[in-house]
Structure 1
């Protein structure tokens, strides 16, 4: 038998969730949705230190995307991988600070779109993510009031 505990939330917040589900045609039990939200949070908190209350003070700000200290950046070009890393507040390639755009252009010796050519792996990420996908998550979080990147 599975045991349960009660977790108090504000009544108004629970009613808002119920109204939201109803207005969007979602017939799920709001209690189950709360449990799913907890699972979703735990899945994302492992790679988003700010969700765990940790302060990320060092890192490189690439437009709307923050790359925390220790983040790896790579690009595959002509069958070979090239790597850079965020060290402190700089993106460093071959010992020299560089911008993501310059990194992609330097590797390819031509004009490239860094958002589409660079892949990112934060210290707690289990796998590499395309920079453009990370940017989309970061921009989406700006409009929803959360922080997904």
Structure 2
């Protein structure tokens, strides 16, 4: 026989699950549904990193704004999108390490304000955010 452990779950949460299963015509024991849910979560967490709460010290420090490893950075110029990504502790663009200011200037071929031209999407972000807005949030914390 396989050993088992008990995992504390709020009673209301467990009853909600039992009611949900019944309403959907699923005759499974809610305890088995919890086990299935754990299996499902683990298989999805392999390809959806936002499901994991990983604390990493790797990332790129842009003045007061920390961009964790895996952060995407983009800029639109003349109707085209250009992308860079934080890999380890470097911001990488076209295979080379670059600063945000140099990225904006390289893409445009002119002098630009990277805070107002670059958009950021960290692993935990659901949408792209203007770098200047991220900087404002970082400075408030």
Measured against the shorter chain, the TM-score band is: 0.5 to 0.7
TM-score by length of 1: 0.59
TM-score by length of 2: 0.62
Matches for 1:27-38 after TM superposition, within 5 Å: none
2:81 is matched with 81
Please give the secondary structure, in 2, of the residue aligned with 1:105: helix
Matches for 1:87-106 after TM superposition, within 5 Å: 87-106=87-106
Structure 1 runs of 4+ off > 4 angstroms?
none
Structure 2 Cα separation of the partners of residues 124 and 137 of structure 1 = 15
CA offsets 1:121-141 (integer angstroms, 9 cap, x no match):
001211000000000000011
Query: Over the residues paired in the alignment, what is the CA RMSD in angstroms?
Result: 2.0
Number of residue-to-residue matches in the alignment? 94
2:110 is matched with 110
Structure 2, unaligned stretches of length 5 or more? 1-11, 13-49
1:57 is matched with 57
Structure 1, unaligned stretches of length 5 or more? 4-46, 142-149
Structure with max Cα Rg: 2
